[in-house]
Structure 1
Amino acid sequence: MVFSAALSALALSLPLLSVNALRTRRALCPDGVNTAINLACCSLFPVVQDIQENFLTNECGDSAHGALRLVFHDAIGISPTAGGGGADGSIATFNETELTFPANLGIDDILDEIGPFLLKHSNTMSPGDFIQLAGALSLVQCPGAPRIPFFMGRAQPKAASPPNLVPQPFDSVASIVQRFGEVGFTTPEEIVAVVGGSHSVAGADDVVPGLQGLPFDQTPSVFDTQIFVDVQLRGTIFTGQGGNQGETETSVLGTVRLQSDHLLARDSQTNCAWQSFANNQAAMAEAFGQGVLKLSLLGQNQDELTDCSEVIPAAIPFTGGPATLPPGLTMNDIEQACATAAFPSLATQPGPATSVPAIPQADDDDDS
C-alpha cells in the first residue's frame, strides 16, 4: 500500500479547530471569497474544493463510492465495551492493523487514493473529520442522494478498532442486525436504508474476485430505489464465500448481488423494511441520511463538535422515474417475501435486455 506508512505515522496531536459560538449572520471568510455563519468553518472551503475537483472529479463514480464505503468501515468498527474505533479515522492512521480484518478487504484501494489528500490537509483536519467530510461530499455528487450534516472537531484516533466488528457480505441477517444494534441502530428500516442505500451507488470490489466494478443494481451512478427491486428478483444468483464464489449471472445483466443483500430482502426480520423502500425515494433518502449521520457520530460527542454543514454543497435532486423491471420480466419475477404487504406494481423496461456497464475504476481512469 503506497500511503500506509505515511498515514500510520501521521502525528496524533495535530491541532483541531475550536468550537465557536453559534452565529446567525454570514461573515466574510479570510480568503475574501467565501462566507460562513461560523468562521471556524472557513478553512474547510479549499478542502472541499480540492476533494470535489481532484479526488471525486465532480462525479458519482468509483471514488465517490469508495469514500462512502470508507465512512461505514471506519465508523462501525467500534465496541461499547472494548473501546477504540468509531468515526475517528483509525482505519487510516492504524491501517496496518485494520486492513488485516477480513471485512476491510479492498479498503486499501480507496485509502491509497484518498491518502495524499488526507495528508495534504492534515494541518486543517483530523483523519476522522476528513473521512466524514469526503463521505458527505461523495453523496452530493450522486443525483437523489441526501445532503447530510457535517460536524468537525474529532480528536486524533488513539487506537485501532477492535477486530471483527464490521459486517461482512456473507454474514447472516441475525449477525448483521445484532452488530448494528450494538451501535444504536434499533429498527430494521435504519439498517436496511444504510445497507441498501449504500449499495444503490456501489459495485463489487475485491469481495468478488474477477468482477471488479460490477454494479449491484442497474443505476450505480444514481441514488435511487432500483437496488430494492433488482435484489428482489427471482432467480438471481448471489455470491458465496471462499470457494463458493460460483455463478455470478443475475436477472439483471452486468450486475452482481451480495449474499447479505439477498438475505436482507428475504428474511422475516428485514424483508418488509426492504420492500418498503422500493419506489419510495423520499423515505429511503431520509432514512439513509439519518443513518449515515448516526454513523458519523459513533464514538463522538456531538456537543463538542462544530456544525460545519454549511460547507457541503446542495444535493443534486432526483429527476428519475420509478424503479422498473428489466426487459422481458414481469411482476411474477419478483420473489415476494414480506407477508403483510404486496410488492409495489412495477412497469417493465422496453427490450431487448442489455448489460449494465461496469463502473470505471479509478486506476483505469489514471491509465487513460
Structure 2
Amino acid sequence: MKVTTALFFGFITTPILAYPGMGSAMAEIQTRHDFALGRRSTELLGDLINADQGSLTPSGTTIKSILEGGSAIADSSTYTPPGELASDTCKKSVLCVWYYIIQDLSGSFTESDGCTDLARGAIRQGFHDAATWDKNSAYGGADGSLLLNDDELARSENKGLETISAQTKTWYNKYKGYGITMADLIQTAAMTATVCCPGGPRIKSFIGRKDDSRAGPTDKLPLPQQDAQYLIDLFAAKTFTSNDLVALIGAHTVSTQKFVDTSRSGASQDTTPSVWDTKFYSETIAGDNKTILIFHSDKSISTYSSTKDQFNTFAGSNGKSLWSPAYAQAYFRMSFLGVNNLNNLTEITQVLPLPK
C-alpha cells in the first residue's frame, strides 16, 4: 500500500501529464483513493469497544467487521417462511416474524413510480431516533425513544414526522405481541424503506435493540441552517468522519420538505424524490434553487474545503457506484448509535426486500 501511495502522488506531481481540466480530474481521483483507503470511520461502538475476539458471537463478529470498514451491503439471499404469521412454527422463528412485518412495511413504501411519502418519512425517522446520541451521551440513540416519548417527538426538529410516526405506532401495536421493540421497528423500517426506493442499497440488518422511553438528549440532531464545520463536528462526536457525513446527507435524494420553507411546502431536494440516485449531489452543486429547494447545510457541505471533493465525486459519472456502499456503511453505523448489546443481536438481512 505504501508503494502504491507513493507512486500515486508521484504521478500527480509530474508536470508532463498536465492538461486542461487535469486539476478537477485529479481531485476526483484523489478523493476516490482517499475514500478507498479508509476515510470512513472505523470506530467501534457499544459493547464491541472492549470485547475480546474470543467472546464475539457471529453477529458481533459481522457488526465489528463492518464498523471497522467492511461492506454493509447485503447479498441477494432470500427467505421462505415456514408458515403463516399466526402459526406456532412462525411464532418460534425470529426471521419468520420479521418477514411478515417487513412485507407489511414494504407494501406501504412502494408505488408504481418509486418509493412513497411513508418511505421517505421512515428513512428520516430512523435518523432522528438514532442521532440523539454522541460519545458524551449517557443514553439516547437507536432506542425507540422518538416514538415512546411524546415530548421528544414534539420537538421542533421532528416536525414533519407526524404521519410516519403514527403509522409506525400502528405497526408496533399490531406486532408487539411477537416480542419486537420499537427501536428495532424504527431502524428496520428505515432499512426497508431505503431498499424499496429504486436504486437503494440492501443494508445488512439486525434486531435485538432495547427500548428506552426517556426522551433522547437535546441539541444532537443536525439542522438545515447549520454550516459545514458545525455539522462535521456534530457528526464526529457520533463517530462519523466528514466523508461519512457527505454520504449520509445523500439520503436527501428522496427528501421533500414542509417546514424549512413553508412557502414551498412539498418541494424536494432533487428532481427525482421517488428514486434513490445521486442527482441530489449534482443538482445541489448546480444550485438551481427554483427547481428544487436546497438546504443551506447541504450547499455549505458541497462547497466546504474538507467535504467538497467527496461531494463532487458522488456527483460524478461513477458517483452511484461509490455512494451506495458508502451510504450503506455509514447508515449501518447510524442504526447502532447508543446500542450497547451489539454482540447479542440477531441478523435478519435475508428477510429484507431485494433491491429494485
Give the TM-score of the pair, scaled to structure 2.
Answer: 0.71
Asked if 2 retains the 8 angstrom alpha-carbon contact of 1:78 and 1:162, the reply is yes
The answer to whether the Cα contact below 8 Å between 1:105 and 1:207 also exists between their aligned partners in 2 is no
* 2: CA distance, partners of 1:315 / 1:29: 23
Q: Secondary structure at the match of 1:98?
A: helix
Amino acid at match of 1:270: T
SS in structure 2 at match of 1:163: coil
Coordinate RMSD, CA, aligned:
2.6
- SS for the counterpart of 1:183 is coil
Distance in 2 between the 1:80 and 1:119 partners? 32
Q: 1:282 aligns with which of 321, 328, 335?
A: 321
Tell me which of 128, 133, 141 is aligned to 1:86.
Answer: 141
Give the Å deviation of 1:30.
4.3
Contact 1:27–1:39 (CA<8 Å) still a contact in 2? no
Q: How do 1:117-136 and structure 2 match up within 5 A?
A: 117-124=171-178, 125-136=180-191
Amino acid at match of 1:203: T
Cα deviation 1:31-67 (Å, max 9, x = unaligned): 399x99x9431111221121122x3245402111000
1:28: Cα distance to partner? 5.9
What are the Cα deviations for residues 224-279 of structure 1, in whole angstroms up to 9, with x where unaligned? 11111111115x44xxxxxxxxxxxx2xx2x2111111111011121111101013
Shift of 1:138: 0.5
Question: Residue 194 of structure 1 aligns to which amino acid in structure 2?
Answer: L
Which residue identity does 2:342 align to in structure 1?
A: Q
How many aligned residue pairs are there? 274
Report the Cα distance in structure 1 between the residues aligned to 2:132 and 2:83, rounded to whole angstroms.
37
Q: Where do 5+ consecutive residues of structure 1 fail to align?
A: 1-19, 238-249, 317-368
Q: Which amino acid aligns with 2:245?
A: I
User: How far is the alpha carbon of 1:313 from its aligned partner?
Assistant: 1.3
* 1:215 partner amino acid: S
After superposition, what is the alpha-carbon deviation per residue over 1:120-152, rounded to whole angstroms, capped at 9, x for unaligned? 112231001001111111012111110011101
Q: What's 2:221 paired with?
A: 166
Distance in 2, matches of 1:142 and 1:87, equals 22
Amino acid in the other structure paired with 1:76: A
Question: Gaps spanning 5+ residues in structure 2: where?
Answer: 1-56, 60-76
Structure 2 residue matching 1:135: 3-state secondary structure? helix
Partner of 2:51: none
Say whether 1:308 aligns with 2:348: yes
Cα deviations by residue, 1:272-321 (Å, 9 ceiling, x for unpaired)? 111010131110111011111111111123211001111101111xxxxx
Distance of 1:275 and 1:107 partners within structure 2: 30
Cross-structure match for 2:201: 146
Hey, what does 2:297 align to over in structure 1? 260
Partner of 2:309: 272
On the 8 A contact 1:79/1:162 being kept in 2, the answer is no
**Match of residue 109 from structure 2:** 56
Whether the 8 Å CA contact 1:126–1:153 is kept in 2: the answer is yes
Contact 2:201 2:355 in 1 (8 A): yes
- Measured in 1, the distance between the counterparts of 2:294 and 2:79 equals 47
Give the share of equivalent positions with the same residue, in percent. 28
1:218 maps to amino acid: T
The structure with higher relative contact order (CA 8 Å, sep 6+) is: 2
Conserved? CA contact 1:140–1:147, under 8 Å: yes
Which residue does 1:107 correspond to in 2?
161
Please tell me the residue identity of whatever aligns with 1:47: I
Tell me which residue corresponds to 1:11.
Answer: none
Structure with greater helix percent: 2
Find the partner of 1:175 among 221, 230, 234: 230
- TM-score, with length taken from structure 1: 0.69
Deviation at residue 26 of structure 1 after TM alignment? 7.6
What does residue 155 of structure 1 align with?
Answer: 210
| SS of 1:140 mapped into structure 2 | helix
